[in-house]
Structure 1
Amino acid sequence: MRGLMTKALATAALLALTVGAQAKETVVWWDFLSGGDGVRMKSLLDQFNKENPDIDIQATTLEWGVPFYTKVQTSAAIGQGPDVMTYHLSRLPLGASTGTLREITPDELKAAGLSADNYGPANWKAAQVDGKQYAIPFDIHSVILYYNKDLLKKAGLLGDDGLPKGLDGAANFEAALAKLTTGPDQVGMSIPTADNGTTWRVFYTLLGQQGGEFITGDKVLDGDNADKATKALAEMAKWTKEGWVPKQTEYPASIAMFTSGKAAMHINGVWEVPTMADLAKSGKLGFEWGAVQIPVIFDQPATWADSHSFAIPDRKGNELSPEKLKAVLTVIKWMNEHSLFWATAGHIPAYLPVTNSEDFKKMEPNATYSSLAKTAVFDPSSKIAGVASPIYDAASNYFMPAFNGDGEPADAVSAAKDELQGLLQ
């Protein structure tokens, strides 16, 4: 009798283990994150797996840009690929138009406890195409103005609060650049002028500060938007023409100019904040630095922005089961709730309970430039826009040469307009 009971108990235990093993949901994850972003995401993934024994994330990192998005599109078309992936919001329109992305319905969002109320209106809208939700924002990343406090103080351009002063308005900004440019060994500002991505981001910021729109309906730079685009590009070209910003500067060189003290200011993405912080911590920077939202050079505050987000591929013939979808949405929500750590990469968390927290408000310089989230201008909602898109190609072929003095801004705008309009026909 005892033997039978022992055998029964052993069988029950084995069944319990089997059921438990079957209940564990595996989530296949793809991302394109490298450098500091990659390190931080790996840490978050490890933490999630430790805290959630019923879900196992199996993560793979692929090459950023066109290779990533091409692989996602081709794999989804044949029912392969991940259960969830990182995705730039600027690429959503193209992803939706090719049938690569799965809609996340209002009922699914509600069941997962994900709500528009917890995100900035512009950021949440950028996660939609034609009113349908295709992604959940994770952050806002933008270009910001890095500055050398020592050099700005010497030039009388630093307030008692340690923030730049006298930079708003084109005339004031130009005067500041001129004052900070004292010779070949010190220029007013460094920008990656040989980088198409940065060229587009600065241009789009200045277009947005005039209330301009790059694409309206199915028209590129329609009406007076072409004039506003020309004005934006002409302002950028003036910076290089006057020698305030060096021409044809590669991305790493522009950073080196700032960190070596040869440029008083620097425009780049928030993702370089860890670079500055690490150099300062190691004592290799040699000066006190800060970072703020891009000054209002024209009519209104506006800054180019994009977001890393989470999206679900529309795998043909291999759709997510209800159980898998629940696990995926659990992962997405958990990542948003733990995005304070992600902010250490320089990003602004998209999840408002985190950005409104006391811990984030103490995080500098993020808290200082987080004001840009309220006036952020996201890339046009178009299949020709976004990271590694035709718009970026146009920035490389037309805007970047004009930025560096090789051609007239008006001609560059006209050529880019004609080429991109042809792609929308």
Structure 2
Amino acid sequence: MTHDNDTTAESNNTQISRRHLLGAGGATFATGIAGCAGLTGGGAGDSSSNDNSSSGSGSSGDVEINYWLYFGAQENEEMMTLVEEFNSQDNGIHVNTQSVPFGEFLNKLFTSVNAGEAPHVASYYGSFGRHLKPITDPIDDYLSEGAANEYFDIAWENMQVDGRPYALPIDVHGKALYTNDSVLESAGVEPDFTDWEGFSNTCDTIVSETDSRAFSFLNWDSPQAAFRTYSIALTQAGGEFLTGEPGNYEVTFDDDIGLETGQLMADITGDFGWDVPQFQSESARVEDFIGGDLAMFIAGTWSINNFENEDGEIPESLDFSFEKPFMFPGDGKEVAWAESNSLYFPTNENHTETEKQAAVEFAEYVTQNNTLWASAGGHLPAAESVATSEEVQSTPLWEEHGTISSMYEMVKEGQVRYQPQTPINLNSNQYWSPLMDLYQHNTDPKSAIEQSASALQRALDSN
């Protein structure tokens, strides 16, 4: 089973303020995070928690480093290979790994810091730096000389919180437009994805000339998937989610542009007739795309893994392309949502300076030698020298399918944007479930957008 599906359901209790962190004593900080089977190609609902899993015992005298990860399927295999490669070097450092299900990861991480049992390194998303700042350490004192220059600028900049680096990026992955080219050929269209009029005409032709649906705003039955695609359309329309600075954010997507973007979502499953409001299963859109019942949808670079059959291969009958998703209406910026699986360094007063230095050395190795990561999850490695290496550029995902190469172009051209760094968990379903209700016509666009905006503003005001 493939490992990425954009699903998550998270409790209100994942909003952790510095006030709670400093004053809670022995309380558990984050609770109730439900399963996520791969939000961005990094998460993995099929990872199992195993407190004793590791890469083997270190040699006598080795500095022992504990690393928590949430990857599953191919990503887990490739990350474990990188860990084993690092451990095989004669560098006096040995890394032990522990897999934690993604849905439990934040809860377990916050609890471990409170208990003084945090690992030296933990995987999580790069845009979560401000949320994780209370329980992680900056690493500028431990980085090797020139480390900042190894990574794409946009990825490195997203690792900064208040001017200091708190994480190292493993990859850059994002969302774009997948097209089933067999359906487009049957409709007799050669689409232009550079403007809304051309895209709309293509969708209308597909509906009139084939039995397939034209376009789904979503690739999964998931509020987070709705949030990510809504952010792409909102930005291209000239809107913004938030204005202001950390600590003084104002939610702004309930303005006219935000409401118009919400109406567009509703029209796709309504007046336009390009998609249906119902989901027969969480993965229905993926299944429809593979089967030729859906011509186009927005999905992540990693989602190519969802196309694989039980033999781990993409069906020969599936002829598809990966296009930049810059067809939405408006005069805003042509940018797409992006994220980075990253490595953080949790706070633990029991960690020695030697261990902290070793943890950063390990993280630099993993993020600067990960050619395998591209073939594993469809991710663009965040280190530019790795992304442009022959090993990566000769993969089918670069040469044949174009997912990684298109993401590379978007990164180099400044056409990706990370979600805002906030002290709250911005991925929580409590903010974005109204967008799913909107898409499925369970509520009207105005009510849905205002409900989302109000919930988000209340959370920001309380932190």
Fold in common (TM above 0.5): yes
* Residue of structure 2 in register with 1:420 after alignment: 456
Deviation at 1:187, TM superposition (A): 0.9
Task: Quote the residue 1:376 is aligned against.
Answer: 416
1:167 is aligned to 2:193 = yes
Q: Could you tell me which of 125, 128, 132 is aligned with 2:160?
A: 128
Matched with 1:43 is 81
Q: Say whether 1:231 aligns with 2:271.
A: no
The alignment partner of 1:310 has SS state of strand
Alpha-carbon offset, residue 197 of structure 1: 1.4
Per-residue displacement from partner, 1:39-87 (whole Å, max 9, x unpaired)?
222222223223456322110110103x211111111122112110111
- Aligned to 1:406, the other structure's residue is in SS state coil
Q: Does 1:394 align with 2:431?
A: yes
Alpha carbon RMSD of aligned pairs, Å? Answer: 2.4
Tell me if the contact between 2:229 and 2:337 (Cα under 8 Å) persists in the aligned partners: yes
C-alpha separation in 2, matches of 1:88 and 1:349: 14
Shift in CA distance, 235/328, structure 1 to aligned 2, threshold 3 Å = same
TM-score (norm 2): 0.77
Amino acid at match of 2:274: W
User: Which of these residues, 357, 368, 388, is aligned with residue 337 of structure 1?
Assistant: 368
Letter in 2 for 1:173: F
Match of 2:182? 150
1:408 aligns to 2:444 (yes or no)? yes
Judge conservation of contact 2:337–2:419 (CA < 8 Å) in 1: yes
| Counterparts of 1:102 and 1:225, CA distance in 2 | 35
The reply on whether 1:287 has 2:325 as its aligned counterpart is no
How many angstroms does 1:27 deviate by?
1.2
Aligned counterparts of 2:250 and 2:175: Cα–Cα separation in 1 = 23
Structure 2, unmatched stretches of 5+, are 1-57
Mapped to 1, the partners of 2:456 and 2:256 lie a distance apart of: 17
CA deviation after TM superposition for structure 1 residue 401, in Å: 0.9
- State the match for 1:100 in structure 2: 135
Instruction: Normalising by structure 1, report the TM-score.
Output: 0.84
Q: How does 1:190-339 map to 2 (within 5 A)?
A: 190=216, 191-192=218-219, 194-217=221-244, 218-222=248-252, 226-241=255-270, 242-249=272-279, 250-276=281-307, 282=313, 284-298=315-329, 299=331, 300-315=333-348, 317-318=349-350, 320-339=351-370
d(CA) in 2 for partners of 1:193, 1:25: 43
Give distance in 2, aligned partners of 1:152 and 1:279: 26
1:61 maps to what in 2?
99
CA apart distance, 1:151: 2.1
> What is the count of residue pairs matched by the alignment?
387
Which structure has more helix as a fraction of its residues?
1
1:46 & 1:378 partners in 2: Cα distance?
Answer: 31
Q: % of aligned pairs identical?
A: 24
Higher alpha-carbon Rg: 1
The correspondence for 2:116, drawn from 79, 82, 99, is 79
How far apart, in 1, do the equivalents of 2:311 and 2:174 lie?
A: 22
Q: One-letter code of the match for 2:143? A: L
Deviation string 1:102-134 (CA, Å, 9 cap, x unpaired) is: 1112x32245x511x222333222212222211
**How many Å separate the matches in 2 of 1:292 and 1:52?**
44
- Following superposition, the deviation at residue 193 of structure 1 comes to 5.6
Secondary structure, counterpart of 2:124 in structure 1: strand
Cα shift at 1:415: 1.9
CA distance in 2, matches of 1:314, 1:282: 41
